[in-house]
Amino acid sequence: MFSKKIMCFTAALLLAINLSYPVSTYAQTAIFDLGQVVVSEDEDEKDKLTIEEKTKISQKTLKSHKVVDLAEIISDELIEASMVRKSGYGNEIGLRGFTKSNLRFTLDDTLIEGSCGSRKDPPLSHINLLTINKIEVKEGPYDVSVPGALGGDINVITKETQKDIHGEVLSKNGSFGYLSQGGYITGGNDCFQGLFGYNYSKSGQYKDGAGNKLNSCNPAYNDAGKSMDAFKKNDLWGKVSVKPAENQELLISSSYGEASDIMTPRVAMDTEKEKTYLNKVEYIFDDLGSISEQLKLSAYYNRVEHYPYGKYRIGGVNNKRIEAISAITGAQIENKMPSDLAVFTYGTDFYHRNWYGDIFDRDYGTIINNELFPDVNELDFGLYVKAERDIGKLSAIVGLRIDIFHSKADEDLKFSKAMTDTNAQTDVLPGANVFLKYFLTKDSNIFGGIGLTNRMPTTVERYVQEGVTYYGNPDLKPSRNLETDLGFETKLMERLKFKTKGFYSYLPDYIYQQVRGGVKTYTNINAYMFGGDATTTYDLSQGFAAEGGLAYQRGRKFSQPASNNDKDLAEIPPLKTKIALNYDKNKFFAIYEWIHSLDSKNIDCDAGETLLKGWDVFNFRVGYQFVEKEGKMSVLDGLSLNIGIDNMFDKKYTMANSYEYDPTDPSGTNVKIVNEPGRFIYGSLSFRF
Give 325-381 pLDDT, tens digit per residue.
Answer: 999 999 999 999 999 899 999 999 999 999 999 999 999 999 999 999 999 999 999
417-445 mean pLDDT? 95
CA 97 to the chain's CA centroid: 13
Q: What share of the chain is helix, strand, coil (3-state, %, to 5)?
A: 10, 55, 35
CB 92 within 8 A of CB 122: yes
310-331 mean pLDDT? 96
The length of the chain in residues reads 689
**Angle, alpha carbons 555-559-563 (nearest 5°):** 100
CA–CA distance, 329 with 350 (Å, rounded to integer):
8
Query: 83 forms bridges with which residues in the sheet?
Result: 93
511-519 mean pLDDT? 94
Question: Is pLDDT of 186 > 60?
Answer: yes
Name the band, by pLDDT with cuts 50, 70 and 90, for residue 5.
very low
What single-letter DSSP state applies at residue 414?
T
**The pLDDT of residue 53:** 41
Tally of domains in the chain: 1
User: In terms of pLDDT, which residue wins out, 160 or 5?
Assistant: 160
Question: Is pLDDT of 52 > 80?
Answer: no
Cα–Cα separations (whole angstroms), residue 147 to 109, 404, 584 = 11, 10, 40
**The pLDDT of residue 68:** 78
**The pLDDT of residue 29:** 54
Question: Is pLDDT of 10 > 70?
Answer: no
Residues above pLDDT 70, as percent of the chain:
89
**The pLDDT of residue 61:** 58
Mean per-residue pLDDT over the chain, rounded: 89
Q: Which residues of 494-516 are buried (b: 16+ CB within 10 A; e: fewer)?
A: eeebbbbbbbebbbbbbbbbbbe
**The pLDDT of residue 123:** 95
Terminal C-alpha separation, the chain = 62
CATH number, domain at 478?
Answer: 2.40.170.20
Q: What residue type is 505 in one-letter code? A: S
**The pLDDT of residue 529:** 98
| CB-count exposure of residue 374 (10 Å: 0-12, 13-18, 19+) | buried
User: In terms of pLDDT, which residue wins out, 37 or 640?
Assistant: 640
Interacting residues of 604 by C-beta distance below 8 A, sequence separation 6+: 564, 566, 568, 569, 570, 659
Interacting residues of 398 by C-beta distance below 8 A, sequence separation 6+: 16, 20, 21, 22, 386, 387, 432, 433, 434
Report the largest interatomic distance among the alpha carbons of the chain, rounded to a whole angstrom: 78
CA–CA distance, 614 with 665 (Å, rounded to integer):
30
Question: Is pLDDT of 235 > 70?
Answer: yes
CB 674 within 8 A of CB 266: yes
**The pLDDT of residue 70:** 87
Cα–Cα separations (whole angstroms), residue 3 to 9, 241, 349, 379, 456 = 10, 42, 19, 18, 21
Q: Which domain holds residue 352?
A: 2-688
586-596 mean pLDDT? 93
**The pLDDT of residue 669:** 81
**The pLDDT of residue 290:** 86
Taking only the tens place, the pLDDT of each residue in 13-51 is: 433 433 333 333 444 455 554 543 322 233 333 333 333
Question: Is pLDDT of 448 > 50?
Answer: yes
**The pLDDT of residue 379:** 98
Name the band, by pLDDT with cuts 50, 70 and 90, for residue 626.
confident
Hey, how many other C-beta atoms are within 10 angstroms of the C-beta on 84? 26
Q: What residue type is 429 in one-letter code? A: L
User: In terms of pLDDT, which residue wins out, 590 or 62?
Assistant: 590
**The pLDDT of residue 668:** 78
